[in-house]
Every structure is written in C-alpha cells, then in structure tokens.
Structure 1
Amino acid sequence: MIDTFMGFDPWLQALVATLFTWTMTGLGAAVVFLTREVNDKFLDMMLGFAGGVMIAASFWSLLAPAIENSQNNPIGEWFPAAVGFLLGGLFIYGFDKLIPHAHRNSPESRMEGWRAERKRRSTLLVFSLTLHNIPEGLAIGIAFGALASNADPAAVAAGAATLALGIGIQNIPEGMAVSMPLRGEGMSRTKSFFFGWMSGIVEPMAAVIGIIAISFMSPVLPYALALAAGAMIFVVVEEVIPSTQKNGHSDIAVMCLMLGFTLMMILDVALG
C-alpha cells in the first residue's frame, strides 16, 4: 500500500478520520450535560441537517466517484453504481431486521429486529443509532482504501477527508439523538453521554472492514463506493427523515435538511 499526501498510510488516515468522527459523536452526546430536558424541535432540526449531509455525501463523495471509476465497464459506467447502490440498501435492510432497535419517536409496538420486545427501550435506542454508524464507517474506509489503487492519490485523499469532515459534522446531532432521549427516560447524564458516545464506536470497526475489502479487491471499488451510498440513503429514508416529522416541526426540519445538503455539497465540490 502506497504512502499518500502528508506521508501517511491510507490505513492511518482512515483510523484518524474515524476517530475524528467518533469524537464528534461524543461531542454531540455531551450536550446532555448542558440541558435538563429534551428539546424536540432542536433535535429535529439537527437530525434534518444530518440527513441532508448524508444525502449529499452519498452522491458527491460516493456515487459520483463510483461512476467515474467505471468508465471501462463493458456493460456501462452506470452498472457498478446501480448494482452497488441496491446492494447497499439490502445490506442495511438485513441489519435492520436482525439487530433489535427502536426508532426515535416510535411507539412501543414499532420495535424492530430479532427479539426486540425482550430489550429495554434505552438499549434499543442505542442500537438504532449504532446501526446508523455502520454505513458511515464503511464509507470512510472504502474512500481511504481507494487511495492505494488510484492514479491521483492526493485528489482521492482530499475527497476522502472531505467525506470524513461531513460525516463528523453530522455525527454531532446523532450523538445528541442518543444521549438526550436516554436522559429524558431518566438515565443519569453520565450514562446518557457514555452510551451516546459509544454508539459511534462501530465507525472505526466498519472502516477497517471497508479498507480491507478495497485493499485486496480493488476491482470492486466502484461497487463498494455505491454500496456505502445505498446503505446511507437507506438509513436516511428509513429512519432519519421519519423521526423528524412526528413532533410538528416538519417544515423547519426539512429546511435544515436542505442546509445540510448544501453545506456538504459545497465542501465536496470546493475541497474534494
């Protein structure tokens, strides 16, 4: 594996990037120390913003590079992106049915996953946001893994770093989305913060899986990039957006989603 800009190996870059995004999750979770109650309007706004960032990152940081790396595909440059995108949705769908979890603002009857009814709601909330972080970690790992097989590693590294920055920004409200509801259910501030922060620990783990896959199977890079995009879009549409539409703040949540999308688009086009 080649060295890249600043002399860092892609493995180290991916590790630093996911430690950054995990830290940002902890920063969001730490908001629980500053407030006594859950502000649903603020949380809906922040989650809407996070959803916008994820949608924009899915295209500019993942799908567009997947298409660009598929120009020699015999079927068509659209093929790897289409196949990978659909597989990404199916991948998270499988986790969604397997991992017990509960969506924010969902009733007790809407617990999902294997034997979810046997778990405490606080546990299910943590599992729900942990599920969010799997595609984000994969996306970062795959993006940095692409460095070893690209003719212009400095440009790819810049794009991967921009992706990590965007995911880190949107991890702040995701950390809040765990710790604040836990606090609202009566858990102590310290425990609420801890579980909110730990919900993001799967990002470095998923990044390792992503970078290993690309390091040893570089021909699947376009498929892998699109898979990460499909997984992120599934999470946004299946959980992030619906959770912002149930407290009467749908309009402002949508506006924040558009702001998040615009910010990530600017970051990716200007820096990526």
Structure 2
Amino acid sequence: MDNVFATTIIGFIVGIAGTGLGGIVALSIFNPNDKFLGMLLGATAGLMLAVVTFDLLPESYSIGGLWIEIVGLILGILLVFIIEDFIPESHISSFTTRKESFLKTGIIMGIGIAIHNLPEGLAVGSGFMFTREIGIKMALIIALHDLPEGIAMATPLRISGFSKLKVLLLTLISGIPTGIGAFIGAVLGSVSQTFIALCMSFAGGTMLYITCGEIIPNSKTLYKGRSSTVGLVIGFIIGIIITVKL
C-alpha cells in the first residue's frame, strides 16, 4: 500500500509539474504583438504535431495495432465535434470574436491533454510496479513530454483574455489525470494494453484535429507573414527532439 501511495504522489507531481511548467514558459514569453503571437502559435502547433506523429500514434500502433489506433483516432475527432457543438462558433473578424475563438481552442486542447495524461499515468504506475528504475525513467520522460502540451494549452487561453493565474491553474489541473492513472497502474500492476493504446490514439485524434483545424489557421490569421510558418517548423523540430531522443 505504501508503494501504491508513493507512486500515486509521484504521478500527480509529474503530471502537474510537466504541464504547469509548460504553462509558466508560455506565460513568461507572452507578448501581445500579433507577429510574435503568430509565431508562438505556429510553434505550439509544430510541437503538438510532432508529439502526435512521433509519440502518441506510433505508441498506440505498437501496443494495440492498426484498428485500435484508427478507432481511437476517430473517437477523439468525434469528441471534438461534440464539444464544438456546445461552444459558440466564431470567426476572427474582431477583437472579441478572436478571443472567443482562442478560448475554444484552449478548452479543446486542455481536454485532449487531460485525456492523454491518463495513459501516461498508467505507464508511470505500471513502471514502478515493475522496477523502480523503469518507473523513474518513465516519470522523467513524461514530465518532459508534458512541457509542450502545457505551452500548447496556455498560449490560446492567454490570448483569449484569461488572467495568468487562471491559465496557470488550468494547466496544473490538466496534469491531474496523470496521478489518477498512476494510481490505477500501481493497483493493477499491469493494465489492459488495448485500453492504453485506445487512450493514446484517442488523445492523438483530439490534438490532431484542434492543431490542424484551429491553431494553425488562427496563427495565420493573426499575422499574414511567414512568422507562423517559421514557428511551426521550429516547433516541429523541437518536438521531434523531445519525442524521439527521450
């Protein structure tokens, strides 16, 4: 029981610290200049595309196979469709509607990140139940992986007009499922591989849709020049380094 408790605490720390630190990074470099914001949004889109392309979907495929990956991907996209029906549609034609558009982006991204953090917690919990060394390694990797996710969530929320404190609290909250997953993984020892694969591709579907359908178009709308595209490429390269090298 002590091991389960300790593993759960570690899971909460890893998830909250990872996304929270990403939020702090986004807030510390925040600048209302549209050219800078366009580049920053492009960079967050690149980061998320790299995480989905080189981490979530390949991991889902290797664990659960092609059809589990496809089903999870479709379900994740359908979730975004449902959420969008409850969030008023807006077009970036004025300052107010622009803020509403970024708010929608931040909310959907936060939900996707929270879902993604559950199987990450399962990996931490299962790792610690296998060996302490594997658990520590998984915890460090996941904390680093959560950094770009915190940035991707915090940036549109901050642009939408949320205070720095609210943005930070929301990024911290999105990391809580990691602790819940760590508890489940520690209790069960080894969880269903199919469930983990489904969660991975499910989160990948939500992030892929919101990145391509919201973040990238909004980054180009903010600034018509090349800065958003340059940011996307830079973010994608950084994302490759984070996901492939760890």
Q: Identify the TM-score tier after normalising by the shorter chain.
A: 0.7 to 0.9
Take 1:85 and 1:143, find their aligned partners in 2: how far apart are those partners?
17
* Superposition CA RMSD, Å: 3.6
The corresponding residue for 1:39 is 33
Cα offset, 1:87, TM superposition: 0.9
Amino acid at match of 1:16: I
* Aligned residue pairs, count: 238
Cα offset, 1:96, TM superposition: 2.1
Of the three residues 22, 25, 30, the one matched with 2:23 is: 25
Secondary structure at the aligned position of 1:106 is classed as: coil
Q: 1:242 to 1:19 in 2, by over 3 A?
A: same
Of the three residues 43, 61, 71, the one matched with 1:49 is: 43
The corresponding residue for 1:14 is 11
Q: 1:90 to 1:180 in 2, by over 3 A?
A: closer
Asked if 1:223 corresponds to 2:223, the answer is no
Q: 1:57 to 1:158 in 2, by over 3 A?
A: farther
Take 1:84 and 1:2, find their aligned partners in 2: how far apart are those partners?
34
Take 2:60 and 2:130, find their aligned partners in 1: how far apart are those partners?
15
- Identity, in percent, stands at 19
Unaligned runs of 5+ in 1: 71-76, 112-120, 183-190
Q: Deviations over 1:190-244 (max 9, x none)?
A: x732233244244134546666787776242211111111111111012111111
Amino acid at match of 1:28: A
Q: 1:85 to 1:13 in 2, by over 3 A?
A: farther
Normalising by structure 2, what TM-score? 0.77
Unaligned runs of 5+ in 2: none
Q: 1:175 to 1:262 in 2, by over 3 A?
A: same
Would the aligned equivalents of 1:141 and 1:209 in 2 still touch at CA under 8 Å?
Answer: yes
Alignment of 1:128-167 (within 5 A): 128-148=105-125, 158=137, 161-167=140-146
The corresponding residue for 2:61 is 67
The corresponding residue for 1:87 is 75
Take 1:207 and 1:22, find their aligned partners in 2: how far apart are those partners?
13
Take 2:55 and 2:9, find their aligned partners in 1: how far apart are those partners?
20
Secondary structure at the aligned position of 1:244 is classed as: helix
Q: 1:145 to 1:99 in 2, by over 3 A?
A: farther
Q: 1:87 to 1:8 in 2, by over 3 A?
A: same
Q: 1:211 to 1:30 in 2, by over 3 A?
A: same
Normalising by structure 1, what TM-score? 0.71
Higher helix proportion: 2
Would the aligned equivalents of 2:37 and 2:222 in 1 still touch at CA under 8 Å?
Answer: no
Amino acid at match of 1:203: S
